[in-house]
Amino acid sequence: MAGPVKILLQTTIPTVEDDWHIGRFAMLAEHLASLKDDAGRPLYAVTARDRATTGAPDPVLSKLDESDFDQLWLFAVDVGDGLHADDCAAIGRFRNRGGGLMATRDHMDLGSSLCSLAGVGDAHFFHSRNQEPDESRHCRDDEVTTDIDWPNYHSGANGDFQAVKIVGERHPLFEGVDFLPAHPHEGAVGAPADDPAARVVATGCSRVTGRDFNLAVAFEPGDGEGRAVAQSTFHHFCDYNWDPSAGCPSFVSEAPGDGLKRNPEAARSVRRYAENVAAWLGRRSL
């Protein structure tokens, strides 16, 4: 009988205590590792790590296609230098041999190394690279944190939650999911115009401007190639957003909320989304 699906949770920065290192996604790792099948066997074996160093191929990412990992959850928390060309090539080969990929980032140019990824990278829009096609969106949404420029969609305070609007037929990623964590300045994603396999599956709404913005893009390629998800912000999966008492880097200036703590239904929805991502990337029935 096949063993648990092997998931790699990976950031694009070396371990730096006062930053978004992989330890700040411990609740996600613990939740995925806790999931069991009907017979009580673990569904997932989770490995969580930061990249080894910048400026050189990462020893794991650059050989990902030769590994036994089934999924890569890539948290792009860099400022543009988080992926080496060898890493990107191996991630492409990983998808071509059926590996699942979730790639996420944050505001402005945070995580812009994702632009170097084939396919999924085209779904991520930044301030200085691969900008949103709609030029009317090249403006600030969140005006409070003035050192962060567009894209910076304000869906609420860290620790609060936002309502999700389903686009088209409800995608399996959002089965049973009506809420995601909020964040004061989310990034921008969209379905690449030349990729018929990609579609926006959910949107959020800015609490500042009332403008809709994309939360997730699903890629459903043909036989043999792995599924993929492009996500507007890594804060949908971060400990600090699930529970602000977990703490955050010192450069986070916005006051957190406590909406998820006060709303068990929303908290369940947040964790259900993580479960759905793992199941869908693994082609497992929900």
Q: What is the pLDDT of residues 159-176, one digit of tens each?
A: 999 999 999 999 999 999
- Which phi-psi region, left, alpha or beta, contains residue 108 (left: φ > 0; alpha: ψ -120 to 50)? left
- Residue 201 token pair: 């599956």
Closest CA relative to residue 162, chosen from 218, 217, 207, 124? 207
| Integer Cα distance of 219 and 18 in angstroms | 33
Whether CATH 3.40.50.880 fits 5-281: yes
How many angstroms separate the CA atoms of 221 and 210, rounded? Answer: 33
Q: Which of 212, 20, 238 is nearest to 132 (CA)?
A: 212
- Report, as ranges of residue numbers, the positions in the chain whose pLDDT lies below 70: 1, 285-286
CA-closest candidate to residue 179, choices 204, 152, 154? 204
pLDDT at residue 176, rounded to an integer: 98
Inter-residue contact 243 to 261 (CB < 8 Å):
yes
Tens digits of per-residue pLDDT, 74-118?
999 999 999 999 999 999 999 999 999 999 999 999 999 999 999
Spell out the domain ranges in the chain.
5-281
